[in-house]
Amino acid sequence: MIYFDNSATTKIEPTVLETYLKVSEQFYGNPSSLHLLGDTPAKLLAQSRAQIANEIGVQPNEIFFTSGGTEGDNWAIKGTAFEKMRYGKHIITSTVEHPAVYESMKQLESFGWDVTFLPADDKGLISPKDLKEAIREDTVLVSIIAVNNEVGTVQPIREIGEVLRDYPSIHFHVDAVQALGMVDLDLGPASRVDMAVFSGHKFKAPRGIGFIYIKDGRQIAPLLTGGGQERDMRSGTENLPAIASMSRAVRLTLDNEQEKRTHLRNMQTKIRTYLETKEKVKIFTPEMHAPHILCFGIEGIRGEVTVHAFEEYNIFISTTSACSSRAMDVDSSTLSAMGVPKHIAETANRVSLAAENTEDEVDQFIKAFDEIYEKFQVING
């Protein structure tokens, strides 16, 4: 079995699963309980927070645990909107965001907020100049994805941050769900990024856990109110087994980060170089962007047909974005924002790699592709 759908979700790492099981079995007390069984969980919670903060170069009090990327994006966006509605109701985002951002913006629009969706070029890139021009007196938030989940475009987060230095009151949120370990993330006191969202299951931690970085001093309203966990910012009993195992997964992901990126890039380049030899293949991923994502289409063949053809070889790829591919229509996709016509966007497939994938798997993928491509040529003439 060859799993090339790692941007949809990853297989949990065995030692991460061990941590999950151990914490579930041995430290089941509630971290908020005053008795002895709450003590170790409370310490473990603090340790996990400190470890994650340390790994990404921020302070422990700037990390809040969530249920994953969707919650993090909803919180950063709506939490800022609610907190700052007295000052303004204008938000800037892009046309190449994940639905967790896009739909949050749409909902805020329906409640009276005004949202500017910045256009993207044919590589899926937005322009810091366009962003500057879109800023208004009443702009309270800028939300931009770091690494696009459909095609792997890496946005110029640092340059956008430079533009925003002239507007210190605007919150800058970055959806970094596809970014951990894959690109350099510049967080911490010197960075202009105020919030960044991460999701455990994208880096070999369990499902249903994630974290958000919120820069010290930046205020956002909580969305989940209740028992006051996470310093009153995100109520709900902490999912300690998932949190502790995610902190391990963050460390493992960032261990030998550069070597892993080189390995991913080599595999991606091998597939790209091969696909470039095929007359009827169009590659949508721009060169030298994220090392783990490659989006392409075979002329005249719908993406789902190709997915199922690979399935017969026990190779698992996706159409563009697995979390939305069953539900979302092509018109609101990244490819559409890049100006790809609908009938071509519908051919799109995404290969998304993880560090444990091998060159041998890439060779097997190429061999299967050859056969599938030939078969399609025979059928389509």
Interaction site with ligand PLP (CB under 6 A) = 68-70, 73, 98, 100, 145, 149, 175, 177-178, 199, 210, 323
How far the first Cα of the chain sits from its last, in Å, is 31
Residue 21, CA distances (Å) to 92, 209, 316 in order? 42, 15, 28
β-sheet bridge partners, residue 210: 66, 199
Min dist. Cβ of residue 29 to ligand PLP (A): 27
Q: Using the minimum distance from each CB to ligand PLP, give the nearer residue, 68 or 128.
A: 68
> Any catalytic annotation for residue 323?
yes
- Judge whether 43 and 32 are in contact, CB under 8 Å: no
Residue 249, CA distances (Å) to 78, 159, 207, 210, 213 in order? 28, 29, 12, 11, 17
Q: Using the minimum distance from each CB to ligand PLP, give the nearer residue, 13 or 175.
A: 175
Strand (E) positions, 243-346? 281-283, 293-298, 315-316
| Closest listed residue to residue 138, CA positions, set 107, 175, 172, 92 | 92
Helix, strand, coil share (%) of the chain residues, nearest 5: 45, 15, 40
Min dist. Cβ of residue 16 to ligand PLP (A): 16
| Closest listed residue to residue 147, CA positions, set 99, 116, 180, 121 | 180
Annotated catalytic residue: which of 243, 250, 298, 323? 323
Q: Using the minimum distance from each CB to ligand PLP, give the nearer residue, 69 or 222.
A: 69
Structure tokens at 365: 């993928």
| Closest listed residue to residue 83, CA positions, set 66, 107, 108 | 108
Min dist. Cβ of residue 177 to ligand PLP (A): 4
Min dist. Cβ of residue 278 to ligand PLP (A): 27
Min dist. Cβ of residue 205 to ligand PLP (A): 10
Regarding beta strands 90-94 and 348-352, do their DSSP bridges make them parallel or antiparallel, or are they unpaired? unpaired
Q: Using the minimum distance from each CB to ligand PLP, give the nearer residue, 67 or 229.
A: 67
Min dist. Cβ of residue 274 to ligand PLP (A): 26
Q: Using the minimum distance from each CB to ligand PLP, give the nearer residue, 147 or 362.
A: 147
Q: Using the minimum distance from each CB to ligand PLP, give the nearer residue, 73 or 238.
A: 73
- Give the H/E segment covering residue 69: helix 69-83
Catalytic residues: 323
